[in-house]
Structure 1
Amino acid sequence: MSAHESLEIELKFDVDAGLPAPELAGLVADGSVGTPQTYLLEATYYDTADTVLARNRTTLRRRAGGVDDGWHLKRPSTVKSARRELGVSFDDAVFDGGVPTVLRDQVASIVRLGELVPIATITTDRTMTSVFDADGRELAVFCEDLVSAESLLPGGGVERWAEWEFELVDGDGPLLARAKAYLREAGARKASSVSKLARAIGPLPAATESRAVESRSVGRKATALDLVVFDLATHRDTLVAYDPLVREDAPDAVHQMRVAARKLRSILTSYPQVLAQGAADPVSTELKLLGGVLGDARDLEVSLETNELMLARENAPADLREALIENERIRRERAVRSMRFALSTDRYLTLLDDLDALIADPTPGLDADSPARDVAAEAIAASYRRLRRAQKALRDFDAWSPEWVEQLHTIRKRAKAARYTAESASTLRRSSFKEIGSYAKAVQTHLGVFHDTVVNRTRLAEVAEHTPLSPAALFVLGRLDAREEARGRKAVKAYRKL
């Protein structure tokens, strides 16, 4: 399916019906305006019965008429006065239910198992005028709208109003600022709602269960439960935020979502007495499985990037490039498809609901009311002791033996656990916590590089054994293996210096 995303930057105003539009050419030096065009726009907006999309400042609509008819998903943006808009034309829409699949996937982490149903219909009589600069470049469009909206929610009604919109096309911030002052002077007023839909449905009805759980504050007198809930909510929000980016395979998205899943599970395992025994076990188990699914795609992503970097320094023959680039790309694409399937299952969506419930209504454990600093200190100390024991155990093995290499892997995992535990208490601002976290991160970083070389060399050996290669390819493969061995030894040397 072909979907296109754009950034919608616009101003919206309430106006009295029939208020004449001002002359817009004066907004731009030597500018001009196009011939006004009139359209009838008929839109149906979709949401769950408890309007969870609207609560998350997200709108999903099907609109006929105008210059961009089709399906549109609008979401918040970090750019001021802007929203991200993902559009799918009617010709390109592929359905799995009543909403195009690509848009349903993008809101899955918000909607969960809820059903998307029509919640409002909005008809707009629009007169649209383009604003051009001296070179004929379209900078913005000005819309005069007469709106008739009907809420399909229980108790909803019909409302009519007039509004103006000024949307940038190829213009800039100063133009937007000038337009705001200019239109206000012409009689426009601050919009009473952020969107047509918000005005159509009015104040949101009380939901039976809010999914937008507020993180509890963590102050000097915070309890251990306050800390755990705060951290769980923080990483839950990160997980949900990266979900749609992972589905579209955006750069670094899989890595960030995987880290969020691991940090969530780390909190549950690092503070076992803060929540009631067994209360978080189902969520912890599912988070482990989710981390594994994301890990498969992420590991192949790292492997592919490494192979591309290594071969960039070599005059490698075509058969080796096929084995290390094209074949690895195929393997990763399979892993990404499996990952997307996993994120579409009821099991994953139920995990998000269960995580929300754990945050919103946690069952206190034995340490729940203890001071957060005390419980965090114990958890961090315990994770650090486990790391040190693993480091001391390394002495029992011959250097570079398989057992020694495996023990370095164990140290890396213990360091990662210690780092996550220390970072979970960062809001408590204890220098000793920060020092342990920094040390554990350094250990994890160096041994992570070494672990990557071990995985890469194992994969290179598999390619050499199972793939028919030319002598030239085998020669280059040997060079790559030697370079990875040297990189691994350098990483271990850096770890030992710690």
Structure 2
Amino acid sequence: MSKEIELKLRLSPAQARRLQSCKVLSGLQPQKYRLLNTYYDTPDFDLRQRGVAVRFRRKGWAVWLMTVKAGAPSAGGLAQRSEWEAPTQAGVFDFSIVTDAKLRAFLASHQAQLQAVFSTDFTRTTWMLNQAGAIVELALDRGRINVPGVGKAPRSEALCELELELLEGESPDPLFNLAIALAADLQLHPEIVSKAERGYALADDAAANPVKALASSVEKSMTPVEAFRSIALSCLMQLQGNEAGAIAGDNPEYVHQARVAIRRLRSAFNLFTPVLNQRFVEIYSSRWKQLAGGLGSARDWDVFLTETLAPLEEAFPGDADLAVLRARGEATKAKAQASAGVALKQKAYSQLLLAFSAALFRVEPPTIDAQCKSSALSLRKFAVRRLYKRAQMIERLVSEHGKMNAERRHDLRIAFKKLRYALEFFAPILPRKRLAACQASLAMIQNLLGTLNDQVTASRLIKQMHPKSDPDPLSRGWIAGRTQLLVAALNDELRGFTASRKPWP
């Protein structure tokens, strides 16, 4: 078994034509050959569900190779997978090469059902580079992904991407260094979707859905810095899983989930700051905050139109002022949605993903002695300390709730959101029963505080659409009435939360 470490980058055909002229490839002679690949699975895609790929490949006129790949999906374009490969005949399976006993048994039990699902046919142009002692293969792949017409018309999709594979070495640093150097001349974007995943999507022909936050994969054996890296990579996976939908602009939920991913990432920065290098935090926390600001307006308008204006229209059908609000709101939302998509298509965003992913694999604890004490803690002790601090902040804000205005409720909402994210991040190392009860309470409180914040936002947006006159009295009265009801419900939930037993000592 070998460990495959590769960085995948998306580029346009026009950018691909410029690749040869990049400085880092100057003087290097490329090799070019054709690759034919056929991927197999069961009719129910059992291998796909297990995160396994079985492929037959022929390079030029050479013998066929059977390859089995297994491993976690990529984040920031970087994939690290187990790989087994051996010569064979096309369509002849030999799973004895798989050294993972459980995986080998799984493949053997499904062998009789395996059938060709899709194929890739592309020309690969490769360059070999020595990067600080590491050997990296840079491969430009151009061709097509093809799905045979079994019961439906055949389908095909263009393929144009770069793969940077670490042939000798252990750290992914040389891959990121090379990618960043190439990105100075080209517009490259980290690609989290493999050729196999694209082929499956084409074969399945199922509609894509917005990607929600993934379950935390932290383990108690991790150091706090390792836990941060795991959480940050998970946030990147969620963000990149929603890029295409957010750019297309047809479903506002994609923008919302992209914002959630960035919000969770920024919360992780705040949570783990005591164990992170200060310079790393200063550089990247502000850059993610700036990107989040570019996506925020689209979500605000969507919430206003669906959750504030829609109930008003249902209660007062045909109201002229509400019709004006609807028309102006839809127009402004469309502009905000387009702006969000543009932000995710910029070269600066692609470069941020590359630079941040590289920095994640290099991040070390701070050098300040006082802060190093936190990084020396076990993850469990670090988690308890940070959760307790967040709970203290909430208790202070709740004690002031009686004299709270909209601004203070906003502070309380942010504090509860930070605690909720922290609990989600540390969930695998906390007591399950108490955690579930606490998370349910937090979800209810956060929902109430979020809806209250939506009322404030709605008032602002209405005023924005009526800059020279008083806001529509009907909508203003509706918002005021809802706010009173929400505040009463919030008081009840806050009393229950403060009296409950928390999932940490």
TM-score when normalising by structure 1: 0.57
Provide the residue aligned with 2:126 in structure 1: 153
Match of 1:73 in 2: none
Output aligned runs, 1:153-172, within 5 Å. 153-154=126-127, 166-168=148-150, 170=152
Work out whether 1:393 is the aligned partner of 2:400: yes
Q: 1:373 corresponds to which residue?
A: 380
With over 3 angstroms needed to count, the CA separation of the structure-2 counterparts of 1:436 and 1:350, relative to structure 1, is: farther
In the alignment, which of 470, 488, 493 is matched to residue 493 of structure 1?
A: 488
Q: Distance in 1 between matches of 2:413 and 2:163?
A: 53
Equivalent in the alignment of 1:19: none
CA distance in 2, matches of 1:372, 1:426: 12
Task: Specify whether residues 310 and 453 from structure 1 end up closer, same or farther in structure 2 by C-alpha distance, changes over 3 A only.
Answer: same
One-letter code aligned to 2:303 = V
| 1:372 CA displacement | 0.8
Distance in 1, matches of 2:468 and 2:327, equals 16
Could you tell me how far apart the structure 2 residues matched to 1:143 and 1:364 are? 46
Equivalent in the alignment of 1:280: 281
Indicate the SS of the match to 2:275: coil
| 1:378 Cα deviation after fit | 0.9
Instruction: Name the counterpart of 2:248.
Output: 248
User: Partners of 2:229 and 2:122 in 1: how far apart?
Assistant: 41
Please give the alpha-carbon distance, in whole angstroms, between the structure 1 residues aligned to 2:163 and 2:329.
52
1:451 aligns with 2:441: no
* Deviation string, structure 1 residues 20-57 (Cα, Å, up to 9, x no partner): xxxxxxxxxxxxxxxxxxxxxxxxxxxxxx87258xxx
C-alpha displacement of 1:336: 2.1
Distance 1:229 1:253 in 2: 24
**Matched-pair contact (CA < 8 Å) for 2:217–2:231:** no
What is residue 321 of structure 1 aligned with on the other side? 323
Distance 1:485 1:295, change over 3 A: same
> What is the aligned partner in structure 1 of residue 45 from structure 2?
80
Q: CA deviation at 1:388?
A: 1.3
Is 1:143–1:166's contact at 8 Å kept on the other side of the alignment?
A: yes
Match for residue 52 of structure 1 among 1, 4, 8: 8
The alpha carbon displacement at 1:381 in A equals: 0.9
Larger Rg: 1
- Which runs of 5 or more residues in structure 2 are unaligned? 1-5, 15-43, 49-74, 79-115, 129-137, 140-145, 177-189, 193-213, 367-371, 494-505
Of residues 458, 469, 474, the one that matches 1:479 is: 474
Distance in 2 separating the partners of 1:278 and 1:362? 10
| C-alpha distance in structure 1 between counterparts of 2:118 and 2:411, whole Å | 65
Distance in 2 between residues matched to 1:482 and 1:456, nearest whole Å = 12
Distance 2:118 2:486 in 1: 64
CA RMSD of aligned residues (A): 4.4
Secondary structure class of the residue paired with 2:363? coil
Counterpart code for 1:335: A
Counterparts of 1:223-242 in structure 2 under 5 Å?
A: 223-242=223-242
Residues 465-484 of structure 1 show CA distances to partners (whole Å, capped at 9, x for unaligned) of 6369xxxxx9xx43333332
Letter of the 2:359 counterpart: L
The 4+ residue runs of structure 1 with deviation greater than 6 A are 58-61, 109-112, 142-145, 195-198
Cα deviation for residue 433 of structure 1 reads 5.0
Q: Tell whether the 8 Å contact from 1:279 to 1:363 is kept in structure 2 after alignment.
A: no
**Counterpart contact for 2:118–2:148, Cα < 8 Å:** no
Give the direction of change, closer, same or farther, for the CA distance of 1:326–1:467 in structure 2 (3 Å limit). Answer: farther
Q: 2: CA distance between counterparts of 1:467 and 1:439?
A: 41
Farther off after superposition, 203-212 or 375-384: 203-212
Write the distance in 2 (CA, Å) between the matches of 1:358 and 1:494. Answer: 44
Output one character per residue of 1:192-235: Cα deviation in whole Å (capped at 9) or x when no partner: xxx9989xx9996648416789x996333222122211111111
Contact conserved, 1:283 with 1:354, CA < 8 A, in 2?
no
Q: Deviation digits for residues 99-150 of structure 1, max 9, x if unmatched? A: xxxxxxxxxx9789xxxxxxxxxxxxxxxxxxxxxxxxxxxxx9999x9964
Mark the CA change 1:413 to 1:204 in structure 2 (over 3 Å): closer, same or farther.
Answer: closer
**1:58-97 alignment to 2 at 5 Å?**
80=45
For residues 445 and 263 of structure 2, what CA distance do their matches in structure 1 show? 18
Aligned mates of 2:459, 2:353 — CA distance in 1: 37
2:255 touches 2:298 (CA, 8 Å); kept in 1?
yes
* Mapping for residues 110-189 of structure 1, pairs under 5 Å: 150-154=123-127, 166-168=148-150, 170=152
- Does structure 1 retain, via aligned residues, the 8 Å contact 2:76–2:357? no
Q: Deviation of residue 170 (structure 1)? A: 4.1
Aligned length: 332
Sort the Cα spacing of 1:414 and 1:149 in 2 relative to 1 into closer, same or farther, 3 A. closer
Determine what percentage of the aligned residue pairs are the same residue. Answer: 20
In the alignment, the residues of structure 1 paired with residue 255 and residue 118 of structure 2 have an alpha-carbon distance, to the nearest angstrom, of: 43
Change (3 A) 1:465 1:372: same
Aligned partners of 1:489, 1:82: CA distance in 2, in Å?
A: 53
- The 2-side partners of 1:342 and 1:149 are apart by 31
Shift of 1:389: 1.0
Q: Distance in 2 between matches of 1:443 and 1:148?
A: 53
Please, which moves more after superposition, 243-252 or 346-355? 346-355
**Equivalent residue, structure 2, for 1:119:** none
Instruction: Give the residue type in structure 1 aligned to 2:125.
Output: L
Would the alpha carbon gap of residues 212 and 311 (structure 1) be closer, same or farther in structure 2, given more than 3 Å must change? Answer: closer
1:220 to 2:220 alignment: yes
Q: Secondary structure of the residue that 1:466 maps to in structure 2?
A: coil
TM-superposition CA deviations, 1:52-75 (whole Å, max 9, x none)? 258xxx9989xxxxxxxxxxxxxx
Aligned equivalent of 1:345: 346
Cα offsets for 1:333-380 (capped at 9, x unmatched):
222232233223333222212321232222123233421111111111
- Equivalent residue letter for 1:338: S
- Residue 209 (1) aligns with residue 191 (2): no
> What letter matches 1:167 in structure 2?
G
Which residue number corresponds to residue 294 of structure 1?
295
TM-superposition CA deviations, 1:154-173 (whole Å, max 9, x none): 3899xxxxxx96324549xx
Contact 1:391 1:411 in 2 (8 A): yes
Alpha-carbon distance, 1:272 to partner: 1.3
Deviation string 1:214-271 (CA, Å, 9 cap, x unpaired) is x996333222122211111111111111111111123411111101101101111112
Structure 1 residue 80: Cα displacement: 3.4
Q: Is the 8 A contact 2:247 2:338 kept in 1?
A: no
Secondary structure, aligned partner of 2:149: strand
Secondary structure of residue in 2 paired with 1:153: strand
Residue 264 of structure 2 aligns with an amino acid whose one-letter code is: K
Residue 271 of structure 1 corresponds to: 272
CA shift, 1:426, in A, is 1.2
Structure 1 residues 393 and 218, CA gap change in structure 2 (3 angstroms): same
Gaps of 5+ in 1: 1-49, 62-78, 84-108, 113-141, 158-163, 172-194, 398-402, 469-473
User: Hey, what does 2:310 align to over in structure 1?
Assistant: 308
**Counterpart amino acid of residue 425 in structure 1:** F
Distance change >3 Å, CA 490–CA 169, structure 1 → 2: farther
Q: Distance in 2 between matches of 1:321 and 1:312?
A: 12
Match of 1:188 in 2: none
